[in-house]
């Protein structure tokens, strides 16, 4: 598969899955935009996208690029001049649909400038805004219509010998999204940007994204991901990381496994599990930690964990690789486990 270099982040061809998000402050407000780009990078974004709705936003991109250190994508609809302005100002990728920018000569100008500067273009096919009549032509099959739309946009860029393309096939329906990306993987050789669009507020959005993006990644489909949430954008890279971790695609983290608790639990396990999870969330180390409710099933069920605790009656045992090391009074469970984790990861 083709690889694409987005300001030094290479996607496709088996490279690590890059995490993306998008700012939601006005791009023309440089200091706010810079602040949010940096916060998103800090939260785990490899690439950040900004909306460029007008000339003021396009002009602002120059200073935003200068003052940030993560590759930036300019998101442009319909106006090819904004794409040209952004490329002159150092953005690392453009998101624009060449079939929607007012004629072939405009697409040619964008492709020529992007090629000269080595800037990739993402074609963003969206199930909700396809060309008129396309859905009917495809017998009402939305995923198929999305593929046809992608073919048209790609053909325009390829006519100008431009192949530095990333493709997204988003829909607000999880099932359509999965179907469209599966078909895209068969049909095209370009890296795929995965996402479920308009996924909703935090909880529903997280589940829809995890199901849609997760199903595809589990099949080896997808090269960069964006979780879309109607919430603080900072939550998007955090959610993306959780999806990657669930599929062992981001191994440099501490995995906490914990039991759901049941009638055998005699310690207050839920706050213990939460405290441990939060404390280790940002530690970059490969370790498996278990927080189990009882000794009857705990150490045995979690014997592949490197370290863990299993609750007793107002106490717990600390175990390593299934072997009990020592007993802990309830108040010492969290500090003792965290101290052990610290020892094992330093």
Q: Interface residues with ligand SF4 (CB under 6 A)? A: 259-262, 264-265, 292-294, 296-298, 301
Least CB distance to ligand SF4 at residue 328 (A): 16
Residues in the chain: 346
Looking at the Cβ atoms of 5 and 265, the one nearer to ligand SF4 is 265
Q: Which residue has the closest beta carbon to ligand SF4? A: 293
N- to C-terminal Cα separation, the chain: 38
Measure the CA–CA gap between 190 and 315, rounded to whole angstroms: 55
Looking at the Cβ atoms of 58 and 269, the one nearer to ligand SF4 is 269
**CB neighbourhood size of 218 (10 A):** 12
Beta strands in the chain (DSSP E): 4-6, 9-11, 18-22, 47-51, 72-75, 93-95, 121-126, 165-170, 192-194, 224-226, 254-258, 287-292, 307-311, 315-320, 323-329
Looking at the Cβ atoms of 237 and 293, the one nearer to ligand SF4 is 293
Least CB distance to ligand SF4 at residue 8 (A): 45
- Quickly tell me which residue has 């199930």 as its tokens: 127
Q: Are 62 and 90 in contact (CB under 8 A)?
A: yes
Least CB distance to ligand SF4 at residue 309 (A): 11
Looking at the Cβ atoms of 123 and 272, the one nearer to ligand SF4 is 272
Least CB distance to ligand SF4 at residue 333 (A): 14
Least CB distance to ligand SF4 at residue 342 (A): 25
Looking at the Cβ atoms of 2 and 320, the one nearer to ligand SF4 is 320
- Quickly tell me which residue has 């020529």 as its tokens: 112
Measure the CA–CA gap between 286 and 188, rounded to whole angstroms: 35
Cα–Cα separations (whole angstroms), residue 240 to 50, 175, 249, 278: 18, 19, 11, 17
Least CB distance to ligand SF4 at residue 345 (A): 25
Least CB distance to ligand SF4 at residue 305 (A): 12
Looking at the Cβ atoms of 116 and 262, the one nearer to ligand SF4 is 262
């Amino acid at each position: 598969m083709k690889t694409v270099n987005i300001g030094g982040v290479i996607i496709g061809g088996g490279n690590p899955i890059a995490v993306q998000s998008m700012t939601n402050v006005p791009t023309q407000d440089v200091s706010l935009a810079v602040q949010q780009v940096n916060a998103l990078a800090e939260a785990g974004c490899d690439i950040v996208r900004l909306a460029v709705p007008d000339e003021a936003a396009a002009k602002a991109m120059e200073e935003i690029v200068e003052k940030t250190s993560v590759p930036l994508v300019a998101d442009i609809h319909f106006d090819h001049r904004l794409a040209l302005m952004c490329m002159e100002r150092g953005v690392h990728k453009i998101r624009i649909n060449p079939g929607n920018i007012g004629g072939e000569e405009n697409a040619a100008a964008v492709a020529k400038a992007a090629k000269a500067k080595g800037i990739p273009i993402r074609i963003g096919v969206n199930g909700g805004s396809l060309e008129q009549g396309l859905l009917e032509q495809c017998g009402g099959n939305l995923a198929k219509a999305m593929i046809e739309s992608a073919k048209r946009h790609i053909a325009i860029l390829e006519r100008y010998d431009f192949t530095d393309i990333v493709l997204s096939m988003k829909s607000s329906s999880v099932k359509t999204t999965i179907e469209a990306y599966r078909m895209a993987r068969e049909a095209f050789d370009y890296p795929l940007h995965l996402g479920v669009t308009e996924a909703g507020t935090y909880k529903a959005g997280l589940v829809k994204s995890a199901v849609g993006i997760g199903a595809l990644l589990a099949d080896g489909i997808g090269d960069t991901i964006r979780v879309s949430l109607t919430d603080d954008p900072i939550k998007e890279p955090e959610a993306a990381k959780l999806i990657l971790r669930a599929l062992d695609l981001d191994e440099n983290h501490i995995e906490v496994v914990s039991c759901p608790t049941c009638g055998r639990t005699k310690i207050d396990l839920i706050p213990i599990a939460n405290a441990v999870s939060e404390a280790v969330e940002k530690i970059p180390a490969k370790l498996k930690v278990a927080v189990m409710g009882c000794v009857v099933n705990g150490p045995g069920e979690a014997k592949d964990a490197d370290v863990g605790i299993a609750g007793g009656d107002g106490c717990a045992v600390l175990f390593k690789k299934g072997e009990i090391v020592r007993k802990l009074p309830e108040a010492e469970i969290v500090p003792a486990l965290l101290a052990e984790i610290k020892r094992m990861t330093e």
